[in-house]
A = this chain, B = another copy of it.
Amino acid sequence: MTTVEDTVLAYWDACEARDWERFATLLADDMVYHLPQTRERIRGRAAFLRFNQEYPGDWHLAVTRVTGDGRQAASWVTSTLDGVEQPAVSFFDLDEAGRIKVVTEFWPEPYEPPAGREHLVERYDPAPR
């Protein structure tokens, strides 16, 4: 049986391989992709495929973690774009046929720690995966 985790791993694997045929088979026709940080939304498999195909730069994606159950999952991947690493966190909803229907994705960026908690924290380096 294919689990939601298998589906999400296959999604990232196909994306990294630029295997767009395989990538497309994992997506529902009417899928929606949300980027809450920019309030951008892409509707439909065709537009979402094109968004990925056209994404500029020499990008790579490595899965750090996938967790989920039933028809929902979350992934944490490490993206490398022109040598710079950044984490991406995505939430997935599958439809009844096991295809990806909704992806909601976050791209958290580095920021300076707020003052006042130095007595509780240590800093580490380099950035972890």
Residue numbers of A with Cβ under 8 A of B are: 5, 34-43, 47-48, 50-51, 54, 56, 65, 67-69, 72-74, 76, 87, 89, 91, 104, 106-113, 116-117, 120-125, 127-128
Contact = CB atoms under 8 A, between A and B. Distances in A.
A37 B67 contact: no
A112 B73 contact: no
A121 B73 contact: no
B116 A56 contact: yes
This chain: copies in complex: 2
Contacts of A127: 36, 39
Contacts of A56: 116
A65 B91 CA distance: 9
Q: Quick one: which of A34, A89, A123 has the most chain B CB within 10 A? A: A89
Given A37-B108, A89-B106, A69 B69 contact: yes
Contacts of A106: 87, 89, 106, 108
Contact of A112 (B38, B68, B91): B38
A127 B104 CA distance: 12
